[in-house]
Structure 1
Amino acid sequence: MNSNFELIAKSKLAARVALIACVLPISVSAEQAGKTIMSRGDVIASDSSTESQRPLKRRSPVYDVDVVNTGTSSQAQLRMQDGALIALKAQTQLKIDEYTLGSGDGGSVVMELISGGLRTITGEIKGDKSNYKLKTPVGSIGIRGTHYEVEWKNNELFLAVWDGTIELDMSNATGGEGPVLLGKGGDFSFAKVSESGTVTSLLKPPSELSSLSSTPSKSAQSTEADEQGSTIANVEITTAEQSTPLVTGSFSQIVQDVSQNEFINEQELDSIGTEPLEELIEQRSGTAAYSVIDRVDATSSLGAVSAIDMQMTVNFDRGTVEQGALSFQDSGGQWFAAFNGLINSQGMTLGVNFASHGNNLANGTIQSQFTQGLDKLTGSFNLQEIEDPSVFAQGAFILSQP
């Protein structure tokens, strides 16, 4: 009798073990590294220890044993445990070896870009290159708190730093001299690196970088002029048929309005009962064009400003600001800036891809956040000529959808 009970008990235990194995294909020792907040097309996570695979959809977890793969015409965006955002381009393989959140600036990140490309805004884990390592075929990247883009394509590594500093160490992979600093801490922000470790600095983002949008950039053609030219890379701009006239008002008042776009304040300003911004973004789908200027003010070191036009295209499926353009006139000519970026829990982070004033190259920053749920964008901009920073323009804006 006892043997029958033991047999039944063992059978039940075996059934439970089999059920658990089916439900939990992830390695027992795996820790959650983040979650999927945007997924389009074929996005698969492969467990590097068990080789099991699972599709990644919105809210799917990712673990520190995963190799995340995006297929042709597929993209994904991950939010990691420390708040970092990682946007994966099509045909990308990203291996997550370690993602541990510690106290303060502590914690540890070790990932490997096997193929393809990504754009990322780093989170709490930053400040010390030993805390963060992204391995690539030509070397490893450390950060000091940053927003950057990297892509391995045709046996070359292409780099663009939108904010902060990255450090590329090629000593182990190629034996090249290092480290190479890009961004605010280096001599240049854009570069390409050959398979042998030869670094070529660029004046503008590499045109070889694949767009995060579904439509390839018309300017994404590799030419020798790209290294010294001033054409727009990795962005498509559709200019409005008519420019929007300057709306007069108190600049200080608009700046004050724009300053109230932090997450907690934004919730207070929105209507009662509105869901947190992160939830609104996750639930929203499709593309939205913010092209109606509700309020704007701008000043220039050269005097009066007129003919202001601004627009942004936000893709909520991919979590990206796919394209944006700002233009206006002063006595020195037309100011123009092309930009794109990523949506984050606070709204968005933008990088200026190209800027000019008349015939002179310029640079600067554009900041923007969502207000009134996702109905409007408030923000500010600061632009200056590269050769003569005393020539500058700045302003604040509120955009809405048509």
Structure 2
Amino acid sequence: MNSNFKLTVNFTSISSAMALAVVLPFFAHAEQAGKTIMSRGDVVATDSSNASQRDLKRRSPIYNVDVVNTGESSQAQLRMQDGALIALKAQTQLKIEEYSQGSAEGGSVVMELISGGLRTITGEIKGDKNNYKLKTPVGSIGIRGTHYEVEWKNNELFLAVWDGTIELDMSGATGAEGPVLLGKGGDFSFAKVSESGSVTSLLKPPSELSSLSSSVSSSAQSNDTEEQGTTVASAELDPAEQPTPILEGSFAQVANDVSQNEFINEQELDSLGTADIGELISERTGSTDYTVLESINANSSLGAVSAINMQMTVNFDRGTVEQGALSFQDSGGEWFAAFNGLITTEGMDLGVNFASHGNNLANGTIRSRFIDGLEKLSGDFNLREIDNTSVTARGDFLLGQP
């Protein structure tokens, strides 16, 4: 009886060892290239060496054998081992062939944008196009320390360089014009490139570039347009992540008349923070209330303001600003704004989903970022009446924890 029992235990141990042997080679041979700092919707990594798949969530590692896919109305932000930040747009496929740091040559990056688009602020691996290569369907991109955006859409490559310089090498494309420099070291910063390699310079960012937000809301109001200085998009939160309503009385009905969606404003990746802040955010858990208004500088086109209140609830597990509210008085009545959003690595993508001034509807923007580690929030706001845009209120604030 004992021998049979021992045989069973040994057999189980051998089976477990065999099972582990199937899993361990991936971790033993694949080098970690970075980690996921934000994942919204359907984000999956496929191991190109064995076709195994895994869902990417916050803090999930990224390896140099991964093909990262974002689904429809999905997005992800990655922090690579050299400090680079990569924001993947919806329906994007990015293959990470090599991402190594610490060599005498300064490291090496080889990635391939198979479909979709990304925006990135590059890290320490830069300065020589041989150190950094992003392959695209029409050629490869080298960098000299930069912040740029690229998207493959309708068989055309769209490029925008926000800082630094990129070099697009199209030596393999039929009819290509040769290497093209964009950015500070080039003749232009925005371009589109045909499948054959023909380059068209643009005077402004290509309108075809997709938003970094999850999806554009079909019910977005015509008031929220570039003409008024705001770009509004909807980030479709999971039902479990919908913010708790903070509107009461007649305000709630007015808010429902304005929109049935929670709006998230797209912001530039320029606000993305340092590695230290990114690490703090990735390691923080739970929900934190920022309710102590340590300082505020507010003014209105109608004169002095008073009775100022502001608060935000940040859920680090979900990566969301679940609810926020701002209110104050001027001679025209009470300004009120309700907002929510997503956490970035330093700041936040915030969207005002309802605002009013007295009995009049309003709109505007609220921006915020972490300071003093994650202890405080610093930011600013800009509000205006919809029907009378000359009536405005703006200011900056510093929020702390109780």
TM interval, short-chain normalised: 0.5 to 0.7
Amino acid paired to 2:378: L
Cα distance between partner residues in 2 of 1:74 and 1:234: 22
Counterpart for residue 210 of structure 2: 210
Pick closer, same or farther for the CA change 1:263–1:203 going to 2, 3 Å. Answer: closer
**One-letter identity of the residue aligned with 1:111:** M
Deviation at 1:172, TM superposition (A): 1.9
Correspondence 1:79 to 2:72: no
Q: Check 1:88–1:284 CA distance in 2 against 1; reply closer, same or farther (3 A cut).
A: farther
What's the CA shift for 1:121?
Answer: 0.6
Query: What are the equivalent positions in structure 2 for 1:1-400 lying under 5 Å apart?
Result: 11=11, 14-21=14-21, 23-24=23-24, 26=26, 28-102=28-102, 106-174=106-174, 176-216=176-216, 235-236=231-232, 278-280=279-281, 283=284, 294-295=296-297, 343-344=344-345, 347=346, 370-372=370-372, 373=374, 375-377=376-378, 398-400=396-398
State whether residues 38 and 319 of structure 1, in contact with CA within 8 Å, keep that contact through their aligned partners in structure 2.
no
In structure 2, do the counterparts of structure 1 residues 319 and 94 end up closer, same or farther at CA, with 3 Å as the change threshold? Answer: farther
d(CA) in 2 for partners of 1:24, 1:74? 30
User: Cα–Cα, structure 1 residues 210 and 282, in superposed 2: closer, same or farther, change >3 Å?
Assistant: farther
CA distance in 2, matches of 1:263, 1:188: 28
User: What is the CA-CA distance between 1:232 and the residue it aligns to?
Assistant: 9.6
Tell me, in whole angstroms, the C-alpha distance in 2 between the residues paired with 1:278 and 1:398. 26
* Partner SS for 1:26: helix
Conserved in 2, the CA contact under 8 Å of 1:99 and 1:110? yes
Q: Specify the alignment match of 2:239 in structure 1.
A: none
In structure 2, the residue matched to 1:302 is none
Q: State the SS of the aligned residue for 1:18.
A: helix
Q: 1:370 to 1:13 in 2, by over 3 A?
A: closer
1:176 to partner: Cα distance: 1.3
- Percent of counterpart pairs with the same letter? 66
Rate the CA distance shift 1:173–1:368 in 2: closer, same or farther, 3 A: farther
How far the C-alpha of 1:187 sits from its partner, in A, is: 1.1
Q: Normalization by structure 2: what TM-score?
A: 0.59
- Tell me if the contact between 2:175 and 2:198 (Cα under 8 Å) persists in the aligned partners: no
For the 8 Å contact 1:211–1:235, the answer to whether it is kept is no
Distance 1:5 1:283, change over 3 A: closer
Give the distance between the partners of 1:25 and 1:72, measured in 2 at CA: 32
Question: Cα distance, 1:217 vs. partner?
Answer: 8.2
Partners of 2:344 and 2:144 lie apart in 1 by 21
Q: Secondary structure at the match of 2:213?
A: coil
Cα distance, 1:284 vs. partner?
Answer: 7.8
Please tell me whether the aligned partners of residues 158 and 206 of structure 2 are also in contact (alpha carbons under 8 angstroms): yes
Deviations 1:227-257 (A, max 9, x none): xxx97999449xxxxxxxxxxxxxxxxxxxx
Output the amino acid matched with 1:69.
N
TM-score by length of 1: 0.59
> One-letter code of the match for 2:199?
V
CA contact (8 A) 1:77 1:318 kept: no
CA contact (8 A) 1:83 1:122 kept: yes
* 1:348 to 1:184, Cα distance in 2 relative to 1, 3 A: farther
Instruction: Report the CA distance between 1:377 and its aligned residue.
Output: 3.2
- Report the AA paired with residue 36 of structure 1: T
* Distance (Å, rounded) in 1 between the aligned partners of 2:368 and 2:182: 25
1:225 corresponds in structure 2 to none
Q: Assess, with a 3 A threshold, how the Cα gap between structure 1 residues 70 and 167 changes in structure 2: closer, same or farther.
A: same
Cα distance, 1:103 vs structure 2 = 5.1
**C-alpha displacement at 1:25, in angstroms?**
7.3
Q: 1:263 to 1:88 in 2, by over 3 A?
A: closer
The root-mean-square deviation of aligned C-alpha atoms, in Å, is 4.5
Residues 1:277 and 1:29: Cα distance change in structure 2 (over 3 Å)? closer
- Contact between 2:90 and 2:214, CA under 8 Å: does it hold in 1? no
Alpha-carbon distance change, 278 to 205 in structure 1, aligned in 2, over 3 angstroms: same
Residues of 2 paired with 1:165 and 1:232: CA distance? 31
Q: Deviations over 1:351-383 (max 9, x none)?
A: xxxxxxxxxxxxxxxx9963253643369xxxx
Unmatched runs of 5 consecutive residues or more in structure 1: 219-229, 238-261, 268-275, 297-313, 321-341, 351-366, 380-396
In the alignment, residue 203 of structure 1 is paired with which amino acid? L
Give the letter for the 2:108 counterpart: S
Shift of the 41–375 alpha-carbon distance from structure 1 to 2, 3 Å rule, reads same
Matched residue type, 1:149: E
**CA pair 81-174 structure 1, distance change in 2 beyond 3 A:** farther
Amino acid at match of 1:377: S
Gaps of 5+ in 2: 219-225, 234-272, 299-313, 322-342, 350-366, 381-394
Do the aligned partners of 2:139 and 2:170 also contact (CA within 8 Å) in 1? yes
Q: CA deviation at 1:278?
A: 3.6
Taking the aligned partners of 1:138 and 1:46, their CA distance within structure 2 comes to 24
* TM-superposition CA deviations, 1:54-87 (whole Å, max 9, x none): 1111111110000001111111111101011111
Asked if the contact 1:27/1:47 (under 8 Å) is kept, the reply is: no
